[in-house]
Structures are given as structure tokens and as C-alpha cells.
Amino acid sequence: MIIKKKTIWQKLPKPFFALAPMEAVTDTVFRRVVIKAGRPDLFFTEFTNAEGWNSKEGNHAVGRRLKFRPEEKPLIAQIWSSSPENVAEMSIDLKKMGFDGIDLNMGCPVKTATKHASGSALIRDPELAGRMIQAAKAGGLPVSVKTRLGYSKLEEWPEWLGFLLKQDIVALTIHARTKKEMSKVPAHHELFSNIVRLRDKLAPKTLIIGNGDILTRQQGQDLIDEHSLDGVMIGRGIFQNIFCFQDLPKQGTKEELIEMLKYHLDLFEEELKDHPEKKYDPLKRFFKIYIRDFDGASDLRVKLMECKSLEEVRAFLS
Ligand SMILES: Cc1cc2nc3c(=O)[nH]c(=O)nc-3n(C[C@H](O)[C@H](O)[C@H](O)COP(=O)(O)O)c2cc1C
């Protein structure tokens, strides 16, 4: 008798809360800040391109996106691609690197992805999407998919999600909008119950994760209760409250928030030792996550934004 080892997905709490993959945000530094603020049950890397990874200079060019520390596990590597061959090759590396799973991005609406028949363009090419999923299994990691309800029309969801559910995937995250809707309309949470019913019929073991406009753990719990979701994924909610994964989320005092920023700066500086090419400017985008919701926050933020280096920020804060 073959006994299949439990994957991380089966070991997650029920229900579970995940931090969304967000490019240029959810790297190893930010994930560790989030652990300190209030840990989700599951992390994803920002998406990484399989073509880039497999190219000669790949590991150097995109490798930083896949860096992690053991404390960030369970951690799923999210990748995007239009080539099953590249996905298969990369999935073997990801297994060796110690990731807990591989997630295929089939929802990204930006042109860089869609013009290469990847991201949300795969919604229009289920045949290729299916081959990508099977290819991702080459490394032996559990395969999940993150997608949207459809490409241009809401009514596409039963066919598209039904197709994905038949591909033997461990989990399916649904950002409850179409590609065409981008983020311009409220997420269609009302469809979650019907999606869960479709899952029950087609693939009872596949976990369904709701995503889109979920700002707090409590809001996520309410959606889980209402629609019987297995888990929820929070993205931009973390920008509004770094403590949003706590059981009873707090807003954070000025001192606590500044402490979090200082911790972020420490981890960023540590990363510079391995990656001296890392630029200072993108770091500024994080200031508004910490310097908010207290008296004088906006003045302080303006002053921090004027700082030209990490040292200047540190000097100013102290
Ligand atoms: C800055 C930013 C970067 C993102 N990068 C990714 C990504 O790399 N992979 C992905 O699947 N989705 C990405 N997304 C989409 C989010 O994962 C999520 O699906 C979307 O923001 C909706 O959830 P939310 O309303 O909780 O933010 C990104 C979103 C933002 C705002």
C-alpha cells in the first residue's frame, strides 16, 4: 500500500489565513516584518518568472525573489510562465530549495505577463493552462493555482474554475474579479458559495481560498463562515494595518508602528550584505504602512520621504 505523505496544505489550520503574493512587496524582509506583527498561516513569494529563472543569468536576475529564511515557512513559491517545459524545470529546483508548494499565477492582468500568454492570458488558453499545471508537478511539490473569475465576463467563472478544478490541484485561490475589471469594482464575494459548491462536486479535496477586498482577519472569518471557504488571502489589507493577521487586530500605537519600521530597516540592511545592488528608493514605499493613523503621521511621513539614504532615515527616527 502506498501511503502518501501529508503536504503542508493538509496540515494548515482550518480555516487558514494567508498573505497574498505581492510583487516588490512580499519579499523575505517584509514577510519577516509581518511575522513579528502578527503571523498568517501561510506565505507566498512574490511571483517569479520561470523563463527568467531558467535563463543563463536567471538565478542572479530573479533569484532574490526566492530567498527565504526557515521561519517564513510554510512558504509557497509563486511562478508565472507560458512554457510548460520551463515550469517543469523550475519546479525541480523549487523542491530542492525547500519550498512547501508551487503556485501558478493565472490572474495577473499586467501587460508584461499577458503579452507572453501568461498570467490572466491563460484564462483564454485552458489547454496551455492545463499543461502548465501538469508540468508544475514534475518536482513533486503540491501544485496550486491563483486566478480570477474570468477574462472579460463574470459568467465565465463556472467553465474556467470548473476546468481548473478538474486538474487535480491542492488549492485554488480566487481573486473575485475578472481580468477586465482589474481592481476597479468591488470583489464579487457573493459568488464564493457557488464556487465552493462547484468544488464539492468536481474536486472535494481541493481547498478554496477567497481573495479580493478582504482587509481584516475578522472580515475574512465572516466570509469563511458565510461561504464555507477553506481559507482567505489578504493582500492590500496589510498596507492599512500591519497587525491585520492578529486574532484581535490592533491598530498599533505610534511607538509600535515606528518599532516595526525600524525592524524593517534592520532586515533591509542585513539583506544589503548579500545584495549590495539593492536600491534604497523602493524602500520608501513601505513608509506609509508604518507611519499612519497617529497624530503627526503625515508630517513625519513627508520628512521621511525626503531622506536620501537609510542612514538619514535612521538618524531622523532616533
Ligand atoms: C503591489 C501588488 C503586487 C501584486 N503582485 C502579485 C503577484 O506577484 N502575484 C499575484 O498572484 N498577485 C499579485 N497581486 C494581486 C494580489 O495578490 C491580490 O490578488 C489582489 O491585490 C487582491 O487582493 P486584496 O484586495 O486583498 O489586495 C499584487 C497586488 C498588489 C497590490
For range 289-318, the mean pLDDT: 94
Residue 38, domain member (yes or no): yes
- State the pLDDT at residue 233: 98
Higher pLDDT, 171 or 62: 171
In a shared domain, residues 41 and 169: yes
- Which of 215, 240, 265 delimits the end of a domain? 240
Residue 224, domain member (yes or no): yes
**Cα 318 to middle of ligand 1, angstroms:** 33
- Best of 62, 175, 223, 285 for a ligand 1 pocket test (most atoms within 8 Å of beta carbon): 175
- Contacts of residue 92, defined as CB under 8 A and 6 or more positions apart, other chains included, come to 138, 139
- Which of 197, 213, 240 delimits the end of a domain? 240
In a shared domain, residues 185 and 269: no
In a shared domain, residues 176 and 210: yes
**Grid coordinates in use for 293?**
493613523
In a shared domain, residues 168 and 289: no
In a shared domain, residues 129 and 48: yes
- State the pLDDT at residue 116: 86
Q: Could you give the CA distance from residue 102 to residue 142 in angstroms, rounded to a whole number?
A: 6
Would you please indicate which residues are annotated as catalytic (active-site) residues? Answer: 108
One-letter amino acid at 203 equals A
In a shared domain, residues 169 and 293: no
- Judged against a pLDDT cut of 80, whether residue 58 lies above it is answered with no
In 216-247, which positions are buried (b, 16+ CB within 10 angstroms) versus exposed (e)? bbebbbebbeebebbbbbbbebbbebbbbbee
In a shared domain, residues 200 and 274: no
For range 17-25, the mean pLDDT: 97
In a shared domain, residues 52 and 193: yes
Residue 128, domain member (yes or no): yes
- State the pLDDT at residue 275: 85
Q: What is the DSSP letter of 205?
A: T
DSSP string, 270-311: HHHHH-TT--SGGGGGGHHHHS-SSTTHHHHHHHHHH--SHH
Q: How far is CA 232 from CA 114, 128, 304, in A?
A: 25, 27, 34
Residue 198, domain member (yes or no): yes
- Best of 17, 19, 22, 102 for a ligand 1 pocket test (most atoms within 8 Å of beta carbon): 22
- State the pLDDT at residue 123: 98
Ligand 1 pocket, residue 23 CB under 6 Å: yes
Residue 1, domain member (yes or no): no
Higher pLDDT, 227 or 276: 227
- Judged against a pLDDT cut of 80, whether residue 3 lies above it is answered with no
Q: Could you give the CA distance from residue 257 to residue 74 in angstroms, rounded to a whole number?
A: 26
In a shared domain, residues 290 and 229: no
pLDDT digits (tens, 9 = 90+) for 232-278: 999 999 999 999 999 887 889 999 999 999 999 999 999 999 888 88
- State the pLDDT at residue 1: 65
What value does the mean pLDDT of the chain take?
95
DSSP string, 82-94: S-HHHHHHHHHHH
Instruction: Indicate which residue's Cα is closest to atom 6 of ligand 1.
Output: 22
Residue 249, domain member (yes or no): no
Q: What is the DSSP letter of 42?
A: B
Domain that holds residue 196: 8-240
In a shared domain, residues 268 and 225: no
In a shared domain, residues 151 and 300: no
In 3-state terms, what secondary structure has residue 232? strand
- Which of 212, 240, 268 delimits the end of a domain? 240
In 123-148, which positions are buried (b, 16+ CB within 10 angstroms) versus exposed (e)? bbeeebbbbbbebbbbbebbbbbbbb
CATH number at residue 203: 3.20.20.70
Instruction: Indicate which residue's Cα is closest to atom 21 of ligand 1.
Output: 235
Query: Into how many domains does the chain fold?
Result: 2
**Cα 236 to middle of ligand 1, angstroms:** 7
pLDDT digits (tens, 9 = 90+) for 118-148: 999 999 999 999 999 999 999 999 999 999 9
Instruction: Indicate which residue's Cα is closest to atom 23 of ligand 1.
Output: 212
Residue 81, domain member (yes or no): yes
> Is 227 within 8 Å of 11 (Cβ atoms)?
no
Residue 245, domain member (yes or no): no
* Residue with the three cell numbers 511571483: 47
In a shared domain, residues 125 and 60: yes
Whole-structure pTM value: 0.96
